[in-house]
Amino acid sequence: MNTDHFRTRRDFLKQTGILALGAMTGAAQAAPDVPDALAGRLLKTLKIGMIKGDTLADRFKTAKAAGFDGVEMDFPGADPGEVRRAVAESGLSVDGSVCSSHWKIRHTSPDAAVRAAALEDLKQALRNTREVGGHSVLLVVGRGADGPEAEIWPRSVENIARAIPLAAELGVQILFENVWNQFLYDHAGGADQTAEKFAKYVDEFRSPWVGIHFDIGNHHKYGRMGDWIRQLGGRVKKLDIKGYSRAQDKFTPIGEGDIEYADVRKALKEINFHGWLAAEVGPGALDYLKGVAQQMDQAFGL
């Protein structure tokens, strides 16, 4: 993946907090009636890195007060004992986690030792997630720059598949996120691409413990997100959301940009999706996170 795109995404996550806060003022209000509203189908969660606070328990309490139903941790790295205490003190659940090392230690690497380390980190993330009551680990499988697709496809499948028995034992799914990693899509291509390769990749595992944590904002640049959801169907187990503007070629706060939310809502109903919707935007404190939760409500009719 081009490092400029890494910076673009990271800068967005740092800066969009300011943008979103400016867009959301005042107390959160109920979302207006919208066609294909998804009220009763979606639970709101967010990445732990989005929540500002002095202690982990304080951050959990802030997320709950802002209107979120859960939080996603980073594993390995976080202390499961501390996370359990934060859950107990706040009453906010952990629905899943993000594998913390997946960008640097990759399942697509040509180095067998690196792939072995990636497997161990994935297994540890599965164990830690189960310890705190979560039921999924978000995984970026690797980078297209690690070799030709004909090589990195089978070797990443072979490596990740070794974690499936543990995932089944623990009851924790391995969910691939669609990201700007130059794999399973054409990074230089247009906005008419499909999710066909993502579907085929997931199907190679032939396991109910493998699916997609579909990021609605990440690939709006490359295709119609409603159509991608339809193509992926039941492979979609969880959702991420951020905004994106093709016109400006940049990420935006949720609800801004030009994502066709009406079609996304319709597609989610068509595949009968019920589950978790995770915000992935910049960090902030209580008032800002209330604004993010309200943006999610308005975009999805919650």
Tokens of 72: 């996603």
The distance from CA 8 to its chain's CA centroid, rounded to whole angstroms, is 17
The per-residue pLDDT for 24 is: 39
Classify the C-alpha dihedral 70-72-78-81 as positive or negative.
positive
pLDDT computed for residue 12 by the predictor = 43
Write down the residue that tokens 């207006």 correspond to: 32
pLDDT (tens place) for every residue of the chain, 302 residues total: 333 343 344 444 444 443 444 433 333 344 557 889 999 999 999 999 999 999 999 999 999 999 999 999 999 999 999 999 999 999 999 999 999 999 999 999 999 999 999 999 999 999 999 999 999 999 999 999 999 999 999 999 999 999 999 999 999 999 999 999 999 999 999 999 999 999 999 999 999 999 999 999 999 999 999 999 999 999 999 999 999 999 999 999 999 999 999 999 999 999 999 999 999 999 999 999 999 999 999 999 99
For the chain, list the domains and their CATH numbers.
Answer: 70-277 (3.20.20.150)
DSSP single-letter state for residue 69: S
What are the structure tokens assigned to 89, written together? Answer: 């003190």
